[in-house]
C-alpha cells in the first residue's frame, strides 16, 4: 500500500467516525517552546491547555513534523527521521480511552478491501502505563488481546506531557511483531526493532506541574475535561505494509537514495555501513529541507535557518563522501517534489523557489569547502613542519565551528596527508559547545504563557473589529486585566489591558503595526499604546489610564488616531505595490518572506539569491511609483480560500487561513494578496515611494526598505538639501557634483600613490640603518628592536625581509616589534645559515609571543604574531637574544 493511500485511509476512517478533517499546520508556528512543529497535537494546544474552546468536539489530521534533537544520529538507525508525517485523531472532552482504542483497533485490523490496513491481529502487541490497568482491561475487552501481549511500562515510556507545565496523561502504544528475523522474542520491552511502534494513544487527563509525572512525580491536578491525542507514524506503517526493512526503503524515500546512487556511483546496501548511513542522511535531509523551504524557512546562522543550513550541508557532505563530484541539490529536490507533491502540492507549485534556495546554499557550501581545504593544508603543513603526526583537536574544531568544514572531510584529508586527528579533543570541544547551546536554550525556554484569564472572554464575547469602516466606535468594556489577573476597575496612572466588545483599533498582524489611539468616556481618558489579539478574535488593548477610573461593564468610545491610521494604510498598501513590482521585474520566485510596515515606512523581505543591481532597484522604484500614479482602485472582498487561490491571490508563508479569506486587489492582475490589514482606497493615496536600499538578511533572503507618502517627500527634500550643500562647497551646480567628486577622488588616489612612494622610500632608508646596527651573539648577527617611528604594522614584514637580505650569507636573525592602538604586531626572519644552526623563525615566535600576551607562528624562514602588551616588548627582545645565544657558538 502506497504512503499517500495510507494517509487517505486514515483520514477517511476518522471523518466517517464524526471527526472534522483539519489540514496540516505549517512547520512554523508562533510558539516560544518550539523551533518546528514536532507533533500532531501542536496546533490544538490552546484547546488542550484550556485557553480556547475548540470549534469541534473531535478532529483528525495528518501533520507534517520535524524533530532535530540530534541530527548527527540520523541514518545510524533505520527507524527515525527528522521529517515525518503524524496521523492523529483528537477528542476534546468527547470520547476517552475506550473510544480511542476502538477507533485504532478497527482501522489497523479491518481488511484492506474494507478500507483498513489489514494487520494481523495476532501480531499486535500493546503497552500501557504501569499505573493504568484500565487501559489494559479495555484492550482485552475491545480487541481481545491476551495478557501475554500487553506489557506495562513506567512513565519514561508510557506517560506523555509537553515538557513544561500543562496537560498530560498516561499513554498506550501499539506495536507490530515483524518476526524473528528482526530480533528477540518477548515483546517491545525486549526489542523495539522487532516489535515496531506504530501508534501512540495519549489519554490526556492530568495537569502537570514543574516536575513531570514521566519521572514519577504526581500530577498537580486533574483536567476539567478528559481529552484524546493520538499519533500514528505514517512512515512506519508504510514500511510494514510495503514489506520493506526500514523507512528509508519505502516508496517516498527510496527514490532519493536511488538518485544518490546515480550521482555518486556508490551503491546502497552493498557492505559499507558508513556509506549506508550517508545514503540515509541524504534521503532523510532532502525531504526535511524541501518541506522547511516550502514553509518559508531560509538558510541562516541562527534558529530555524541554521537547522536548514546544517541539513543542506550534510547532504552535500554526504554526497561528496559517496563520490559525487558535481552539484547534487537540484536533483534531490526534484525527486522529493515528485514523490511528495501528491500530498503536499506546494512542493510542485513552488518548486522553482525551493530549488533555488537549496542550490544557492549548496553553492555557498562548496565555496566553504574550498576555503576549508586551503586552511586545512596550512594547518597540516604546520603540523608536519613541527614534526607532528597528529592534527590538534582545536584545529579540527576551528575548521568545523568557524568555517563549517565537516569533521568527516578533515579526517579523510588528514589520512591522505599522513596525519591523524585528535578526535577526542575535537569531540570534547564539540560537547562543550553543545552544552553551552543547551544551557542557552534552557535559559530562553519558557512555559506556555498562561492565557486562561482570557478563556471566558474568548468563549463568550469575541471582539468585533470595526476598523475597516470606521475610526470611532462605541463599545462596552468586557474585561480588565492587570498583571495577568482580572480586575473590576483601574485608576489614573495604571497600565492595564482592556478588552472591548467592539474596536476600530487594528491589532498587530500581517506585518502591520498596531494602531494607537484613545479610549474615552465622561471623566475618563486612556491612551492606547498597543493592540494585540488572542485566538484571532479577542482584541487586547494595552493602555495607560491618563484620567479618571475605568470600570468593567462601562460604555466607552474607542478612537483610532486618524493621522496614524492614514500613514499605516499608506505603508501597508505600499508594501503590496513593492511586492507586485518585485514579482513583475524578478519573476514569481521573488516570494514574500516577511514584512513590517508602519506610518510612512515599510520593509519587505523576499526570497532571492544575490543582491540587486542599482538599475534593478531603480526599476523596482519606477514600477512601484507608476502603479501609484495609475490611481488603481483598491478592491477588497471576502471569498473562500480555494477560489482565492484559483484567482491567483498570494498567501503568506506559515499563515493558517480559514475557509473564508479577505482578498486585497490593486489594479486587477497587478497585485492580489490575502490580507487582513487596513489599506488606502486607491493606489495614488500611497503617495510617492522612495526605496532607501536593499540588503541581505540571511542566505537567500533580501530586504527592501522604503519611505511612503510625506515621509518619502521629506526624505527626498533632505537629500536635495544635502546635494545643494555639497554643490555649494564644491562651487559647482548640482548637476556637476558627480563629475567634480569623481575628479577629486582621482586626485586623492594620485596623492596617496605619491605618499606611498615616499613611505616606501622611508622604509628602505631605515633598512640600511637597522642592518648596520646588527650585533653579534657568538656566530649569529641579531637585529632585535622596536620598529622605527612611522613604520606601521603593514610595513614591518617588508622591512624585516629587507634587513635580512642586507645581512647576506651570514647567520642572522631579524626581529622587529611595532606598537600602535593597543596592538603589538611583530615579525621574525632567519637566514639560511641561522636555520642551519637550529634557529627557526616559527619556534622563536612561539617563545616570545607570551611575553607580549600574544600568539603567532609561521615557517622556519619567516614567522609573525601579534600581542596586546606593549610593555612586554623589552622582555620579548631579551628572550629572543637568550634563545639566539643558546644556539650560537
Spatial contact of 128 and 136, defined as CB atoms under 8 Å apart: yes
**Annotated binding-site residue? 4:** no
Q: Are 228 and 100 in contact (CB under 8 A)?
A: yes
Tens-digit pLDDT profile for residues 325-344: 899 999 999 999 999 999 99
CB 151 within 8 A of CB 125: yes
Residue 638: per-residue pLDDT:
92
Reference 671, options 591, 570, 584; nearest CA is 584
Q: Put residue 687 in one of left, alpha, beta given phi > 0 → left and psi -120 to 50 → alpha.
A: left
What number of residues does the chain have?
889
Reported as a single tens digit per residue, the pLDDT across 605-645 is: 988 878 899 999 999 999 999 999 999 999 999 998 888 88
Name which of 147, 57, 134, 42 is nearest 97 in CA terms. 134
Report the pLDDT value the prediction gives residue 122, as an integer from 0 to 100.
96
What's the CA gap between 545 and 480, in Å, rounded?
12
Mean pLDDT to the nearest integer, 665-669: 90
- CA-CA distance, 177 to 124, in Å (whole number)? 6
Core vs surface per residue 577-599: b (16+ CB within 10 A) or e: bbbbbbbbbbeebbbbbbbbbbb
pLDDT of residue 79: 63
Q: All 3 cell numbers of residue 639?
A: 471569498
Residue 471 has pLDDT above 90, yes or no: yes
Position 438 confidence tier, pLDDT thresholds 50, 70, 90? low
576 is in an annotated binding site: yes
**Whether residue 653 has pLDDT greater than 60:** no
**Predicted local confidence at residue 444, as pLDDT:** 40
Q: Which helix (H) or strand (E) segment is 153 a member of?
A: strand 150-153
* d(C-alpha 331, C-alpha 334), whole Å: 5
Rg over alpha carbons for the chain, rounded to the nearest Å, is 35
For residues 92 and 54, is the Cβ–Cβ distance under 8 A?
A: yes
Beta-bridge partner residues of 842 = none
SS3 assignment, position 606 = strand
Flag whether pLDDT at 34 surpasses 50: yes
Residue by residue, DSSP assigns 499-561 as EESEE-SPPSBTTBPPP-EEEEETTEEEEEEEEEEETTTEEEEEEEEEESEEETT-EEEEEE-
Interhelix angle 737-772/793-806, nearest 10 degrees: 40
Question: DSSP 3-state assignment of 177?
Answer: strand
Question: Which helix or strand (DSSP H or E) is residue 814 part of?
Answer: strand 812-817
DSSP state, 751?
Answer: H
How far is it, in rounded angstroms, from Cα 365 to Cα 367? 5
Residue 409's nearest CA partner among 319, 523, 509, 495 is: 319
Q: What share of the chain is helix, strand, coil (3-state, %, to 5)?
A: 45, 25, 30
Residue 704 parent element (H or E): strand 701-708
Q: Which residue has the higher pLDDT, 590 or 144?
A: 144
| pLDDT tens digits for range 443-466 | 444 444 456 678 778 777 789 999
Q: Is there a binding annotation on residue 171?
A: no
| Helix 407-416 × helix 351-385 angle, to 10° | 40
Mean model confidence pLDDT for the chain: 88
681 labeled part of a ligand binding site:
no
Specify the range with the lowest mean pLDDT, choosing from 166-175, 760-769, 863-872. Answer: 760-769
Lowest mean pLDDT among 83-87, 759-763, 799-803: 759-763
Query: How high is the pLDDT of residue 48?
Result: 83
Here the cell at position 738 is 558627480
Phi, psi of 184 (to 5 degrees): -80, 155
| pLDDT (mean) for 463-483 | 93
Amino acid at each position: 500500500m502506497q504512503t499517500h493511500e495510507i494517509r487517505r485511509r486514515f483520514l477517511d476512517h476518522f471523518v466517517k467516525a464524526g471527526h472534522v478533517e483539519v489540514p496540516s499546520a505549517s512547520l512554523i508556528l508562533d510558539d516560544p517552546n518550539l523551533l518546528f512543529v514536532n507533533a500532531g497535537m501542536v496546533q490544538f494546544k490552546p484547546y488542550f491547555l484550556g485557553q480556547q474552546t475548540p470549534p469541534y468536539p473531535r478532529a483528525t489530521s495528518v501533520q507534517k513534523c520535524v524533530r532535530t534533537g540530534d541530527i548527527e544520529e540520523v541514518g545510524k538507525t533505520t527507524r527515525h527521521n527528522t521529517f515525518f508525517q503524524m496521523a492523529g485523531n483528537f477528542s476534546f472532552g468527547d470520547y476517552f480511552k475506550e473510544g480511542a482504542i476502538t477507533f485504532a483497533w478497527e482501522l489497523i485490523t479491518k481488511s484492506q478491501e474494507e478500507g483498513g490496513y489489514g494487520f494481523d491481529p495476532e501480531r499486535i502487541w500493546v503497552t500501557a502505563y504501569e499505573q493504568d490497568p484500565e487501559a489494559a482491561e479495555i484492550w482485552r475487552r475491545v480487541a481481545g488481546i491476551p495478557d501475554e501481549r500487553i506489557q506495562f511500562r513506567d512513565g519514561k515510556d508510557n506517560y506523555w506531557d509537553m515538557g513544561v507545565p500543562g496537560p498530560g496523561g498516561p499513554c498506550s502504544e501499539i506495536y507490530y511483531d515483524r518476526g524473528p528475523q528482526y530480533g528477540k522474542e518477548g515483546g517491545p520491552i525486549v526489542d523495539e526493532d522487532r516489535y515496531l511502534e506504530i501508534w501512540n494513544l495519549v489519554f490526556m487527563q492530568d495537569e502537570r506541574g514543574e516536575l513531570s509525572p514521566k519521572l514519577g512525580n504526581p500530577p498537580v491536578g486533574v483536567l476539567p475535561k478528559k481529552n484524546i491525542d493520538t499519533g500514528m507514524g505514517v512512515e512506519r506503517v508504510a514500511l510494514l505494509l510495503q514489506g520493506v526493512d526500514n523507512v528509508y526503503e519505502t516508496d517516498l524515500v527510496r527514490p532519493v537514495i536511488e538518485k544518490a546512487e546515480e550521482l555518486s556511483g556508490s551503491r546502497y546496501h552493498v557492505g559499507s555501513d558508513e556509506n549506508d548511513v550517508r545514503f540515509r542522511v541524504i534521503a532523510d535531509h532532502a525531504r526535511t529541507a524541501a518541506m522547511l523551504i516550502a514553509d518559508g524557512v531560509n538558510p541562516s546562522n541562527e534558529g530555524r535557518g541554521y537547522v536548514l543550513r546544517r541539513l543542506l550541508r550534510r547532504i552535500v557532505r554526504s554526497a561528496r563522501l559517496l563520490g559525487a563530484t558535481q552539484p547534487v541539490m537540484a536533483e534531490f529536490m526534484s525527486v522529493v517534489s515528485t514523490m511528495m507533491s501528491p500530498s503536499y502540492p506546494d512542493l510542485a507549485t513552488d518548486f522553482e523557489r525551493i530549488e533555488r534556495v537549496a542550490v544557492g546554499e549548496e553553492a555557498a557550501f562548496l565555496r566553504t569547502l574550498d576555503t576549508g581545504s586551503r586552511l586545512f593544508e596550512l594547518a597540516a603543513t604546520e603540523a608536519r613542519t613541527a614534526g607532528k603526526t597528529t592534527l590538534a583537536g582545536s584545529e579540527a574544531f576551528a575548521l568545523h565551528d568557524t568555517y563549517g568544514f565537516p569533521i568527516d572531510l578533515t579526517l579523510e584529508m588528514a589520512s591522505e596527508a599522513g596525519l591523524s586527528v585528535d578526535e577526542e579533543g575535537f569531540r570534547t570541544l564539540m560537547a562543550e559547545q553543545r552544552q553551552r547551546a543547551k544551557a542557552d536554550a534552557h535559559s530562553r525556554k519558557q512555559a506556555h504563557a498562561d492565557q486562561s484569564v482570557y478563556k471566558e472572554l474568548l468563549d463568550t464575547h469575541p471582539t468585533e473589529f470595526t476598523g475597516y469602516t470606521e475610526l470611532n466606535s462605541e463599545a462596552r468594556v468586557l474585561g480588565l486585566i492587570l498583571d495577568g489577573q482580572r480586575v473590576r476597575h483601574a485608576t489614573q496612572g495604571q497600565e492595564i489591558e482592556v478588552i472591548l466588545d467592539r474596536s476600530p483599533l487594528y491589532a498587530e498582524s500581517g506585518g502591520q503595526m498596531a494602531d494607537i489611539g484613545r479610549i474615552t468616556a465622561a471623566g475618563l481618558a486612556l491612551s492606547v499604546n498597543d493592540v494585540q489579539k488572542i485566538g484571532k478574535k479577542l482584541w487586547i488593548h494595552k493602555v495607560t489610564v491618563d484620567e479618571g477610573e475605568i470600570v468593567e461593564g462601562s460604555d466607552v468610545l474607542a478612537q483610532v488616531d486618524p493621522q496614524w491610521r492614514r500613514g499605516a494604510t499608506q505603508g501597508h498598501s505600499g508594501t503590496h505595490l513593492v511586492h507586485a513590482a518585485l514579482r513583475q521585474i524578478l519573476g514569481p520566485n521573488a516570494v514574500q518572506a516577511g514584512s513590517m510596515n508602519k506610518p510612512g515606512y515599510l520593509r519587505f523581505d523576499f526570497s532571492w539569491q544575490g543582491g540587486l543591481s542599482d538599475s534593478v532597484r531603480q526599476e523596482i522604484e519606477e514600477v512601484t511609483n507608476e502603479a501609484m500614479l495609475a490611481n488603481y482602485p483598491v478592491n477588497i472582498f471576502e471569498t473562500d480560500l480555494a477560489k482565492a487561490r484559483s484567482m491567483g491571490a498570494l498567501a503568506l508563508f506559515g499563515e493558517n487561513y480559514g475557509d473564508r479569506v479577505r482578498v486585497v486587489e490593486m489594479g486587477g492582475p497587478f497585485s492580489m494578496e490575502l490580507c487582513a490589514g487596513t489599506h488606502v482606497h486607491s493606489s495614488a493615496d500611497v503617495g510617492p515611494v522612495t526605496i532607501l536600499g536593499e540588503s541581505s538578511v540571511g542566505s537567500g533572503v533580501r530586504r527592501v526598505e522604503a519611505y511612503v507618502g510625506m515621509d518619502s517627500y521629506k526624505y527626498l527634500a533632505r537629500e536635495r538639501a544635502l546635494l545643494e550643500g555639497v554643490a555649494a562647497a564644491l562651487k559647482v551646480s548640482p548637476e556637476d557634483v558627480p563629475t567634480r567628486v569623481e575628479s577629486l577622488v582621482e586626485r586623492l588616489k594620485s596623492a596617496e600613490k605619491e605618499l606611498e612612494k615616499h613611505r616606501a622610500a622611508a622604509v628602505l632608508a631605515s633598512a640600511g640603518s637597522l642592518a648596520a646596527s646588527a650585533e653579534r651573539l657568538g656566530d649569529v648577527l641579531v637585529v632585535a628592536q622596536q620598529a622605527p617611528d612611522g613604520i606601521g604594522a603593514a610595513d614591518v614584514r617588508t622591512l624585516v625581509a629587507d634587513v635580512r637580505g642586507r645581512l647576506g650569507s651570514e647567520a642572522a636573525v631579524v626581529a622587529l616589534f611595532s606598537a600602535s592602538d593597543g596592538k603589538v604586531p611583530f615579525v621574525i626572519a632567519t637566514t639560511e645559515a641561522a636555520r642551519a644552526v637550529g634557529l627557526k623563525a616559527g619556534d622563536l615566535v612561539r617563545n616570545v609571543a607570551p611575553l607580549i600576551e600574544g600568539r603567532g607562528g609561521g615557517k622556519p624562514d619567516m614567522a609573525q604574531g601579534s600581542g596586546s602588551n606593549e610593555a612586554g616588548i623589552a622582555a620579548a627582545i631579551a628572550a629572543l637574544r637568550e634563545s639566539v645565544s643558546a644556539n650560537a657558538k
